[in-house]
Amino acid sequence: MTQAPEKRIAVNKWVVALVVMLPTFIEVMDTSVVNVSLPHIQGSMSAGVDEVTWVLTSYLVSNAIIIPITGWLAGLFGRKRYLVFSILVFTLASILCGAAPSLQVLVLARILQGLGGGGLQPLSQAILFETFPRREHGMAMAVFGMGVVMAPIIGPVLGGWITDHLSWRWVFYINIPAGILAIVLTMLFIVDPTYIKRQILRIDKWGLFFLALGLGALQVVLDRGERKDWLQSNFIIILSAIAIFALVAFIITELRAEHPVVDLRVFKDSTFSAGTTIMFLGFFCLFGSFVLLPLYAQELMGYTAFWAGLILGPGGVSSFIVMPIAGALMKKGVKPWILLLIGLCVTSFALFMMSGFNLQGDFYSIALPRLIQGIGLGAFFVPLAAATYVNIPVEQMGNASGVFNLLRNLGGSFGVAVSSTILSQRAQVHQTYLSEAITPYNPAFQKSFANAVGFMKMHHMAASAKDGLAFIYGEVLRQANMLSFNDTFYILAIAIAMVTPLTLFLRKSSPGAGSAGAGMH
């Protein structure tokens, strides 16, 4: 049980790391590369805005359902076989997405793609932790993290370029060569541990049913809640009730099942519970800001999709540099919770900088906080992932990795939904407040009105009183939206600062200690 993994670790652990990073990179990138292509897909398919968003929602729902049961499926079919199957389904579904003749076929193909892609991250993470000894888990997560972090940075830029120069269909076709390469490399270099080969598991039907129903309903609520005005919509109320009922039933079912599809007993380990909580809250704040920054650049600053993607670039570069440094420091004995605390503080500071954005900002003033945020993310992801699994035996690594990645994704989904809601509500508040000053008895308004009319005449535009008022009101809307972005960034900065005390629960974890992992490999 222990000899085969030891030989593999000594011979080609870095090759294994690169092999499992490739499908993970493709899957993560695919969640963001499609975003910039939605307007083109909408026009090509003659679909409405609400209809075309199902191209994203369908993928997220099926993805969320598969992630937590990855360890169970790997035990049922074998990890290597399931990994190859997942990559194959993802690649074939990508072909179907690119060739889809209608929106209905495209949504169906995206569901299949999510089912194939959902298991790639947890499987890759579990293989990495098994391949590397515990003292090198930090460095292993640095390699894995570089792929996870760079993928959503490259995605929008690559997707924008492909859509502009080729077609939105090629956003999916580019997965084909990468998928084929990943399958070949997996067949050559990945080996199943013996304990997985010998497992015989029963199908937990009720667990699967409640999990699929609960996560599916929850994901739709998070994705559609803002558009439907949350609890003002009967559709959202009904789905929320279904999600709560199904997830509670799922927890009860899994705690009583002899062979649960997701073993929730892993939360008995306080270090794992603390780590997953920090991951959920951390990605809640991070994903919220990831969505806001491109919106600010495009809607208020007039950037194209390509240039908005480039704004995210500096943060990806800084994360790419910091992650291996964090892994090396952990290998030398630096406590993970110290690096994690630094990462959260740096990230909070970057979000505070973003809360000071204005309509006169240039590219560098926007990109600098993103670069600093990337430094914080690099010091956040690596030590947290390594410390969270420190007490998890290799036999439970697949299950634990599935739960960890699910909570990370759910944290991101909640963060996007809450940030969008705050942004919308604060924009209405600021618009109401600023509009109160638009009165003919206000000297400041009179001066602004005269300047607006003069500006419009100078540029040979219509300059009636009505046009002048419309010009000023448009500027009021821009200022209200800008202030709402500031407020949302500020709230996210406070929220991530409030997460920092939780790092104290990880003080006893030390993946860098060689003795901890000696008996596991």
DSSP string for 271-325 = HHHHHHHHHHHHHHHHHHHHHHHHHIIIIIT---HHHHHHHHHHHHHHHHHHHHH
- Among 322, 351, 350, 316, smallest CA distance to 157 is for 316
State the Cα–Cα distance between residues 415 and 423, nearest whole angstrom: 12
pLDDT for res 420: 82
pLDDT for res 10: 46
State the Cα–Cα distance between residues 308 and 298, nearest whole angstrom: 6
pLDDT for res 232: 84
Mind listing the pLDDT tens digit of every residue in the chain (521 residues)?
A: 344 443 444 446 778 888 888 888 888 777 667 766 777 777 787 766 556 667 777 787 788 788 888 878 887 788 888 999 999 999 999 999 999 988 889 989 998 998 998 888 888 878 887 777 777 777 777 777 777 767 766 776 777 777 777 888 888 898 899 899 999 988 888 877 766 655 555 677 888 889 889 888 887 888 778 778 788 889 889 999 999 999 999 999 988 887 788 888 888 888 899 899 998 988 888 878 877 887 788 778 888 767 776 777 777 788 878 888 888 888 888 888 899 999 999 999 999 999 999 888 888 888 899 899 989 988 888 888 778 888 888 778 778 888 888 888 788 878 888 888 888 889 889 988 877 767 666 676 666 666 666 666 666 565 565 666 666 677 788 889 899 999 999 999 999 999 999 888 887 655 544 333 333 33
State the Cα–Cα distance between residues 159 and 157, nearest whole angstrom: 5
E strand segments, 89-136: none
pLDDT for res 519: 32
> SS3 of 16, please?
helix
pLDDT for res 428: 87
pLDDT for res 342: 93
Residue 453, both tokens: 């009319």
State the Cα–Cα distance between residues 180 and 283, nearest whole angstrom: 31
pTM: 0.76
pLDDT for res 483: 93
Per-domain residue ranges of the chain: 1-201, 430-480
pLDDT for res 454: 67
Task: Tell me phi and psi for residue 34, to 5 degrees.
Answer: -80, -25
pLDDT for res 112: 93
Are residues 398 and 74 in contact, defined by beta-carbon separation less than 8 angstroms?
yes
CATH 3.30.565.10, domain 1-201, yes or no: no
pLDDT for res 8: 42
